[in-house]
Structure 1
């Protein structure tokens, strides 16, 4: 039975992905930010394992998460993220630090901790990136910088781990109907309607396609855009 380590399972794309994997009987190890969230995830996904780790402090993850890593992992799925909009002239260094920590440094550290288990299973790392990881727009500097960095991380990791049999996929969704997107609209001062954007389940379909692809082929990058 495949086993997956997943961040961001409490909301949005991560929650939809956890539901899909749990529904088909795969084993889950879910990262939670605190004990309360861990209990909520354990109740929502019976049989899943949880581990508590603070993505805002990547330097703490080796101690809090490292010892809980299984000996074999079929995938590590990086879905958690944060976004704070604002011009470069106004964003304080604290926002840059938090954004880079959660969106870039923590995925790098968690991947490092998981690599022995991924190599054992010839597993896959999936980075749920963003359209902002391909093009940076005004007000999006900190978030886009973190996502451009995540793309670089994926490219380097793919080249480094190819001989070990570890596959790496970056998924670049456009705007998706999630609580994060609702918060973005609030920051933009714009009205929000779920129906205007990609459903989280559609992004999950792309992720599952990468996970389920036979070994004779590989999916390195997937771009998912609104269909209307």
Structure 2
């Protein structure tokens, strides 16, 4: 694959939610030709992964976007940002209290907006790429998914507006909409749905990671604005 940054410094890619699932798969996929900043809420698994890949750890509490400015102050050059972290709590509108809505919208929408704002000067200088890992719920809301779908619809709006605003600065913005993916989040969702978790019937995180890597490394004459990843046909 031809890198968007061939002949230049190695891209520096920041990934949120990097300790598991899609984030961890993406970090391992990019480690050979990207310098990585891997973000998570706690150390432990994050430090282990950073040690394995030679990456820089970044602790961020996505429920506290007001703490981000101090946390990222010493990061230096950042070429790409992949907003991968997220939370989901299922429940009907009639029973979900405001604290669930506030938590979900803060982590899934407000935190990516604030982190992007803080990193935009560097992204503009590098003519980098911002990837928002969205969801099928960002395209359609089903019963019981209102708070999560609302946060993901808002994330799509954030991406669409940012794309138009930053195009003059050479920053590319992509929304990726994976279907159900075999991650620990999906295991929790299936528990909330009262259903079995069968990872083999879902998209594998490595598949979504490969899609994101393609977006990041795409030649500069292409901008992939919206990419939907659905489960493949089964015999």
Q: TM-score range by the shorter chain?
A: over 0.9
Tell me if the contact between 1:119 and 1:165 (Cα under 8 Å) persists in the aligned partners.
yes
1:76 is matched with 81
Tell me if the contact between 2:92 and 2:143 (Cα under 8 Å) persists in the aligned partners.
yes
Q: Secondary structure at the match of 1:163?
A: helix
TM-score by length of 1: 0.95
Q: Give unpaired runs (5+ residues) of structure 2.
A: 1-9
2:39 is matched with 31
Alignment of 1:123-142 (within 5 A): 123-142=128-147
CA distance, structure 2, for counterparts of residue 110 and residue 190 of structure 1 = 35
Q: Can you list the C-alpha shifts for 1:133-190, whole angstroms capped at 9, x where unaligned?
A: 0000000000000000000000000000000000000000000011100100000000
How far off is 1:79 after superposition? Answer: 0.3
CA distance, structure 2, for counterparts of residue 199 and residue 84 of structure 1 = 22
Q: Does 1:6 align with 2:3?
A: no
The range that moved more, 166-175 or 72-81, is 72-81
Q: Does 1:88 align with 2:97?
A: no
Tell me if the contact between 1:51 and 1:68 (Cα under 8 Å) persists in the aligned partners.
no
Q: 1:55 aligns with which of 49, 59, 62?
A: 62
Tell me if the contact between 2:129 and 2:172 (Cα under 8 Å) persists in the aligned partners.
yes
Question: Cα RMSD over matched residues?
Answer: 1.2
Tell me if the contact between 2:12 and 2:78 (Cα under 8 Å) persists in the aligned partners.
yes
Tell me if the contact between 2:29 and 2:210 (Cα under 8 Å) persists in the aligned partners.
no
How far off is 1:32 after superposition? Answer: 2.1
2:7 is matched with none
Alignment of 1:1-228 (within 5 A): 1-22=10-31, 24-45=32-53, 47-65=54-72, 67-70=73-76, 72-228=77-233
Tell me if the contact between 1:84 and 1:95 (Cα under 8 Å) persists in the aligned partners.
yes
Q: Secondary structure at the match of 1:175?
A: coil
How far off is 1:201 after superposition? Answer: 0.9
Tell me if the contact between 2:16 and 2:85 (Cα under 8 Å) persists in the aligned partners.
yes
CA distance, structure 1, for counterparts of residue 196 and residue 57 of structure 2 = 36
Tell me if the contact between 2:18 and 2:46 (Cα under 8 Å) persists in the aligned partners.
no
Tell me if the contact between 1:69 and 1:113 (Cα under 8 Å) persists in the aligned partners.
no
Q: Can you list the C-alpha shifts for 1:202-226, whole angstroms capped at 9, x where unaligned?
A: 1112111111111111100100001
User: Matched residue pairs, number?
Assistant: 224
